[in-house]
Amino acid sequence: MRTWFEAFELGAHIVRRIATLAENRQLETSQVTELEADITRLRALGRRVFGDSLDMAVEHFVASAQPSPSR
């Protein structure tokens, strides 16, 4: 049961962090890349309490914050 609680707690932390970044208009800044470590930890717990929605959101925000390759 503890792993489930850890997954919920970490997922809630990620959601709160996304909300804070959104409130401060920082979702497209390098600060969003800090979420990568958290999402990696969440995946390592092996519990899919948030399904793919949280993974996909973090991946989207991180990709949006990356500089575009020069052409």
Angstrom distance (rounded) from CA 63 to CA 55: 12
pLDDT of 30 over the 60 cut: yes
Burial class (CB in 10 A: 0-12, 13-18, 19+), 70: exposed
Q: What is the residue-averaged pLDDT of the chain?
A: 87
pTM: 0.80
Among residues 6, 68, 32, the alpha carbon closest in space to that of 50 is found at 6
Strands (E), the chain: none
Residue 5 pLDDT: 92
